[in-house]
Chain A
Amino acid sequence: MSSRRSSRSRQSGAARISDDQIADLVSKLQQLIPEIRNSRRRSDKVSASKVLQETCNYIRSLHREVDDLSDRLSELLDSTDSDSAQAAIIRSLLM
């Protein structure tokens, strides 16, 4: 990877971002998104628009999951006499 821009990036006071930094971040993003990680064949051929799209989809699905889980948990934690069961679960998760 060329670092020819890195000297320029130190000149201005503001943080000039190098190509490498951006490529690095995008590749990290690619690795986090299951869709891209599993389906990609050549690492540098994924377009920015695809990365962005899959990122948005992934975040949305995570949001949905948090919402669903909150629903499930609110039903489960409903009955007041499950206090001891809750305590047991919580303790076992913390150890």
Chain B
Amino acid sequence: MKERMPNSSALMKQEFLKKWIKGLQIYSSFKKEMTIFERKKAIKLSADVAIASTRNASTHWSRALMSDVSTDDANHAAKIVVAQISGRKVEKYSSSKGLMMTCSNKILRRSRVASRCRRTRGVGTSVKARSIARKVVKNRTRVLKSLVPGGQEMDGVCLIKETLDYIASLRVQVDVMRHLAAAAERLDPPQRSIL
């Protein structure tokens, strides 16, 4: 996995912004007049595709996201956006061609490392407490899998690596969107046109 250097964050933001705008332009060319709701979906979807494409299909989550968008038959414009921005035809996401395929479920067992630390306080943790802790970790892992695109296909270390990358990308996305919204609000103080 590519190590993310601090100074590449600015480059990523630029790349994201350009691709995001490109996506929005594609949408506008499809539909001149959009309702606020349609525009919101266009904005969000373009942003998601843009941030996923900055990973160049090198991560599971970005591939899964692109695939989800482009296999949504109801949304024709979205497919074009994905194709244009990623520069390639996006196949249905399947984990069988994964880069990080064989990850074991060791994260669940390794979580006992953490509970082992607690044992040094004197009283050993009971078997029951440990199994409860394992269940909690298992449930929470399941939730995490539902939050990360393509998470269901991931296991153990994959999941953590993908989560790290996904969170870092989400932060870039939020950062740029926040700045754009703030700047636009300053330039265009709320005088909303009546639809």
Q: Are B164 and A59 in contact (CB under 8 A)?
A: no
Q: How far is the CB of A34 from chain B (nearest CB, A)?
A: 10
Interface centre among B48, B148, B170 (most CB of A within 10 A): B170
Tell yes or no: B179 within 8 A of A by CB: yes
- 9 of the cross-chain contacts (CB-CB < 8 Å) are A22-B106, A33-B167, A49-B133, A59-B163, A66-B47, A73-B43, A78-B36, A85-B188, A93-B176
Total interface residues on B, using CB and 8 Å? 63
Query: 5 tightest A-B contacts by CB?
Result: A48-B111, A52-B140, A74-B40, A14-B102, A70-B44
Q: Which residue of A lies closest to B40 (CB)?
A: A74
What 1/0 mask marks residues of chain A from 2 to 28 whose CB sits below 8 Å from any chain B CB?
Answer: 000000000000111101011101101
Q: Which residues of A contact B (CB under 8 A)?
A: 14-17, 19, 21-23, 25-26, 28-29, 32-33, 44-49, 52-53, 55-56, 58-60, 62-63, 65-67, 69-79, 82, 85-86, 88-90, 92-94
**A17-B106, A62-B171 in contact; A48/B137 too (CB < 8 A)?**
yes
Q: How far is the CB of A24 from chain B (nearest CB, A)?
A: 10
Tell yes or no: B83 within 8 A of A by CB: no
A-B contact count (CB 8 A): 155
Q: Are B157 and A17 in contact (CB under 8 A)?
A: yes
Q: How far apart sit A75 and B157, CA to CA, in the bound complex (Å)?
A: 41
**A19-B110, A69-B178 in contact; A52/B164 too (CB < 8 A)?**
no
SS of B interface (majority): helix
Q: How far apart sit A1 and B173, CA to CA, in the bound complex (Å)?
A: 35
Q: Which residue of B lies closest to A54 (CB)?
A: B140
